[in-house]
Structure 1
Amino acid sequence: MSVRQAPTYQQGAPQRSMDDDSDVEEEALANDYREQVGYENNGDDYGIEGGAMGANMQDLQAQLQAAATPLEYQATLETKIQSYDSYCNLFHYILNSEGPVDIEVPSYFWAWDVIDEFIYQFNSFCSYRQKLALTQSTSGNEGDLVVLRENPNTWGCYSVLNVLYSLIQRSQISEQLAARKRGEDPAPYAGDYGSRSLYQMLGYFSIIGLLRVHCLLGDFSLALKTLDDIELNKKAMFARVMAANFTTYYYVGFSYMMMHRYADALRAFNHILIYVSRTKNFQKNAQYDSITKKNDQMYALVAICVAFHPTRLDDTIHTALREKYGEQLTRMQRGGPEALPIFEELFRTACPKFISPTPPDFDNPSVNVDPIEHQLSIFMEEVKNNMWAPTVRSYLKLYTTMDLTKLAGFLEVDADTLRGWLLVNKQRSRQMRHSEGGLLEGDVVNSNDLDYAMQGDLIHVSEAKVGRRLVDWYLRNLARTY
């Protein structure tokens, strides 16, 4: 996912954990946005004041401007390779100069757009190369095939990751963010490079870039691990740039979804979708149009997560979800074989353009694996494992004790198959839910209001939350007594 245009940024709002389900902060942020954005653009986002700078500095300004400018959609392969070389030269100069480059960056927007465009071009190039390798016999692009064979390291995964990690290391941004989380002054940890806004901003958004790249490569746990030093709140720098804000929560939510942590995924999606819905009337048409498609994709992911983990949504999100995917959501929640094509369709619609960490083998096309198809197959295995969960659950709600063979007869399957379904469903009902600390941390909770245990061929069913409800009832009546 790439949101390539960003609106004027807003200031931060009070800090809040991602696990806070209330929408108070989104409302405060939207109000603050209304006051500060307006409808007119306040100057050129990328304007760098030059003055009496030398020729070399002016050339650097031109490179900085070009790095944040989107490449034309119909750009030739040679142009894409030249763009890669330009990025390499720019980052080499910034990272390997004798001292820190003494230039002020234009804004948060510029720093985000440089990293965003860098990764967007990397993703697009890899996707095109992979597609060409899979369809080279029918593509008709013999010239591009020759060029790609001669340039196997262009837009290489290692090179892109090396740039992002190097910017983070040079800027000492992780140490600065960790110091802020501890309530300390980050200045002593910044060093000569990290105290400069050029390195600080590029290093910061490189962390968001790593989240995105690791997710594109299919390493979802490492993607979330990269955000250990960034707090997901409105005072964070990424929250000041709409495109960065949207992108961050998309990849956090998608990574959670692929790790079967549906409650955490829904919380991430819900948070950003509420914000977008409350600020859409205050955004310029061109800027808002750039995230409309991505917004719809996120709703498709919400539908998938709700099908796996039924939960109450914000009224705004619930209404929009029913309008966009009402019929599909109903069929997915019903389960069964007829739900499989819907899950597949929504996943294809909403997933990132996954890439392979290595260049394809042009000489042996049959050994190349389509990364999107690979991730889809993993996802669909999860869907198939839970395909009968809604049907099984509907039967279990009618009994407190039931014979396994009898239930298997209702479902027209053998007892061993049903036992496997029950074990999978039991396991999936225990999900890790984030409360504090890193995004990978959390507490194991029961995500289902129905619990059961198997003893031989008997299934004992109970209401998972009955204990809590009895306590709540007792406390309410106790308060009335006094």
Structure 2
Amino acid sequence: MSYQNGNRPPIDDDDVEEEALVADYQEQVNYEDENYDGDGRGETIGGPADLKAQLEQAAAPLEYAASLEVKFQSYDNYCSLFHYILNSDGPVDIEQPSYYWAWDVIDEFIYQFESFCRYRNRVARTAPNEEEAQVLRENPQTWGCYSVLNVLYSLIQRSQINEQLAAQKRGDDQNAVAGEYGSRPLYKMLGYFSIIGLLRVHCLLGDFSLALKTLDDIEMNKKAMFARVMAAHLNTYYYVGFSYMMLRRYADAVRMFSHILIYVSRTKNFQKGNTQFDAIAKKTEQMYALIAICNSFAPTRLDDTIHTALREKYGEKLSRMQRGGPDALPIYKELFQSACPKFISPVPPDFDNPSLNIDPVEHHTEIFMDEVKTTLFNPTVKSYLKLYSTMDLSKLAGFLEVEPEKLRSWLLVNKQRSRQIRWTDGGLLEGEVFSNTDGLDYAIEGDLIHISEAKQGRRLVDWYLRNLARAY
């Protein structure tokens, strides 16, 4: 596989590790098939009695069409369960069913929070049922953002998982910093997957820098614990890649999406018949759409498998995005809304003033489309600049039919945005600055644009004109 500018996926390609990871995934599929219960959640969760069964219930998906009463009850049950785990006199003495289960508990907890927030916002904006609206109005703290974040941060703190991961990075003994709770697998696993959960929640809330910051102590490679659970593996790279994209770090976003999509293609034989098959297929489709967007902003050489899949899925749409111009706007909006997370608001909606409640997805779509509009004419501008070594600003403005000063501002903004940070090691927010100019750079001096890396193009034009003149 070849990558431009050294953009290898942040993993090593050791065959033994790859086979071990695939074996872990096969084991997970077998575990889920044996333990899947499609009946949904039981009546009660939490409390000391029969805790193991209650933990397994906490990982079971809530029915899609569950009533508002059931959603409220589920929240109360989670609160009771986590309160018992976190605030008992000493660590809870129980063996967790499996490390797959720990992910399922955190994943389902966050999913119910996310779906409830979206449901509540929709009711506040449309008010189809006044009785439900009144119940929601009277219970603003149910599935509140603060309580969910408090659970995740408390599990992380109680387990000392960040300290354990930092010690592991240094090559020190994890048990020396684990403490009484962190040495227990139940707390360690819940704490670990709470970090991945925080990545997801902060991304849903639109805080992309904080989302990446939460993973400071987790290594992004195939040896990481999350990589042993397919859903966690998939979601981690999806949310990291999406956060990079929203921070305009397109090269890093492509690397993250590429890594997980290649891995999914290698394990597709194990996915058919698995209870997670539909979720995996949907998430991979979303990441292909996001790679298409990122590659249109910052073209880079992709793995052959991914490039072929993109051409098959988005052939004409890719061409329209690469050409730029107003015709590309609906394509960007369509792909973004089909592939972005289902954003939520951090605060309860205003039921008394429905018009004040915005749709968080529409809000972030508008932010994204503002970015698209600033780069919409990049392909056209580059097609002109590649033909010259110097060019008058007013001349280029005439070609584009815009005011010279407006063009100057546009060129300066895009010059700045061509400088990106590329992650190499350490925290995901760190990295080295590089210029993503696609072989073209320019500087503005007064009313003159100086173009570098464009001499070859100019020589080709001169050669073509000379030969054309000779022909006549």
Asked if these proteins are the same fold (TM beyond 0.5), I'd say: yes
1:231 aligned counterpart, secondary structure: coil
Residue 212 (structure 2) aligns with: 224
Amino acid at match of 2:213: K
Quote the Cα distance in structure 2 between the aligned partners of 1:205 and 1:22. 20
**Partner residue in 2 for 1:158:** 146
Task: Spell out the pairing of 1:212-361 with structure 2 (5 A cutoff).
Answer: 212-286=200-274, 287-361=276-350
Question: 1:24, CA displacement in angstroms?
Answer: 5.7
Aligned to 2:3: none
1:191 to 179, 184, 207: 179
Which runs of structure 2 are paired with 1:61-460 in the superposition (5 Å)? 61-136=52-127, 139=128, 141-286=129-274, 287-448=276-437, 449-460=439-450
Query: Quick one: structure 1 residues 284 and 61, their matched pair in 2 at CA, closer, same or farther if it must change by over 3 Å?
Result: same
Distance 1:30 1:89, change over 3 A: same
Does structure 2 retain, via aligned residues, the 8 Å contact 1:224–1:440? yes
Q: CA deviation at 1:59?
A: 2.2
Alpha-carbon separation, structure 2, partners of 1:408 and 1:463: 21
Deviation digits for residues 298-324 of structure 1 (CA, Å, limit 9, x no counterpart): 111001000101000000000111111
- Relative distance call for 1:38 and 1:144 in structure 2 (3 A) is same
* Structure 1: distance between partners of 2:28 and 2:370: 47
Deviations 1:397-443 (A, max 9, x none): 00001011111111111111211221122111111111111000011
* Alpha-carbon separation, structure 2, partners of 1:250 and 1:88: 28
Structure 2 SS opposite 1:235: coil
Question: SS of the counterpart of 1:460?
Answer: strand
Counterpart contact for 1:45–1:109, Cα < 8 Å: no
Percent identity reads 70
Check conservation: 1:39, 1:283, Cα contact below 8 A. no
**1: CA distance, partners of 2:390 / 2:15:** 47
**Per-residue deviation, 1:67:** 0.5
Higher relative contact order (CA 8 A, sep 6+): 1
Q: The residue matched to 1:354 in structure 2 has which SS? A: coil
Return the alpha-carbon distance in structure 2 between the equivalents of residues 189 and 38 of structure 1: 31
In the TM superposition, what whole-angstrom CA distance separates every residue of 1:335-356 from its partner, at most 9, and x where no partner exists? 1111111111111000001000
Are the equivalent residues in 1 in contact too, given 2:12–2:221 (CA < 8 A)? no
1:186/1:24 Cα in 2 relative to 1: closer, same or farther (>3 Å)? closer
Structure 1 contact 46–65 (Cα < 8 Å) conserved: no
Secondary structure, counterpart of 2:421 in structure 1: strand
- CA–CA separation in structure 2 for the residues paired with 1:256 and 1:342: 21
Give the Å deviation of 1:461.
Answer: 0.3
Query: Relative to 1, partners in 2 of residues 1:102 and 1:28: Cα closer, same or farther, differing over 3 Å?
Result: same
**Partner of 1:11 in structure 2?**
none
Query: Using the alignment, how far apart are the partners of 2:10 and 2:28 within structure 1?
Result: 29
CA contact (8 A) 1:451 1:462 kept: yes
Query: Which residue of structure 2 aligns with residue 13 of structure 1?
Result: none
Q: Which amino acid aligns with 1:413?
A: V
Instruction: Tell me how far apart the structure 1 counterparts of residues 455 and 193 of structure 2 sit (CA, whole Å).
Output: 42
Amino acid in structure 2 at the alignment position of 1:94: I
Q: 1:214 to 1:23 in 2, by over 3 A?
A: closer
SS of the equivalent of 2:13 reads helix
Distance of aligned partners of 1:307 and 1:40 in 2 relative to their CA distance in 1, 3 Å threshold: closer
Question: What is the total number of aligned residue pairs between the two structures?
Answer: 439
Give the whole-Å Cα distance in 2 for the aligned partners of 1:307 and 1:26. Answer: 31
Tell me, in whole angstroms, the C-alpha distance in 2 between the residues paired with 1:61 and 1:39. Answer: 19
Alpha carbon RMSD of aligned pairs, Å? Answer: 2.2
Report the 3-state secondary structure (helix = DSSP H, G, I; strand = E; otherwise coil) of the residue aligned with 2:452. Answer: strand
Whether the 8 Å CA contact 1:46–1:106 is kept in 2: the answer is no
CA distance in 1: counterparts of 2:285 and 2:14, whole angstroms:
20
Q: Contact 2:164 / 2:177 at 8 angstroms: preserved in 1?
A: yes
SS of 2:50's equivalent? helix
Q: Mean alpha-carbon deviation: is it higher for 275-284 or for 241-250?
A: 275-284
Please say if residues 431 and 445 of structure 1, whose CA atoms lie closer than 8 Å, have aligned partners that are also in contact. yes
CA–CA distance in structure 2, aligned partners of residues 39 and 155 of structure 1? 30
- Provide structure 1 residue ranges, at least 5 long, that are not aligned to the other structure: 1-17, 48-54, 467-482
Deviation of 1:28 (Å): 5.0
Unaligned runs of 5+ in 2: 1-5, 38-45, 457-472
Contact 1:94/1:101 (8 A) holds in 2 = yes
TM-score (normalizing by structure 1) = 0.87
Tell me which amino acid in the other structure corresponds to 1:81.
F
1:165-194 CA-to-partner distances (Å, cap 9, x unmatched) read 000000000100000011111101001000
Equivalence for 1:51: none
Residues 237 and 260, structure 2, Cα contact 8 Å, conserved in 1: yes
CA contact (8 A) 1:280 1:288 kept: no
Q: Distance in 1 between matches of 2:228 and 2:28?
A: 17
Change (3 A) 1:236 1:248: same
For residues 272 and 26 of structure 1, the distance between their equivalents in structure 2, rounded to whole angstroms, comes to 16
* Residues 38 and 95 (structure 1), Cα distance of their counterparts in 2 relative to 1, 3 Å cut: closer
Q: SS in structure 2 opposite 1:80?
A: helix
Cα deviations across residues 213-255 of structure 1 (Å, max 9, x unaligned)?
A: 0000000000000000000111111000000000000000000
TM-score of the pair, normalised by structure 2: 0.89
Post-superposition Cα deviations, 1:370-392, rounded to whole Å, max 9, x if no partner, equal 21111111111110111111110
Mean CA deviation greater in 31-40 or 352-361: 31-40
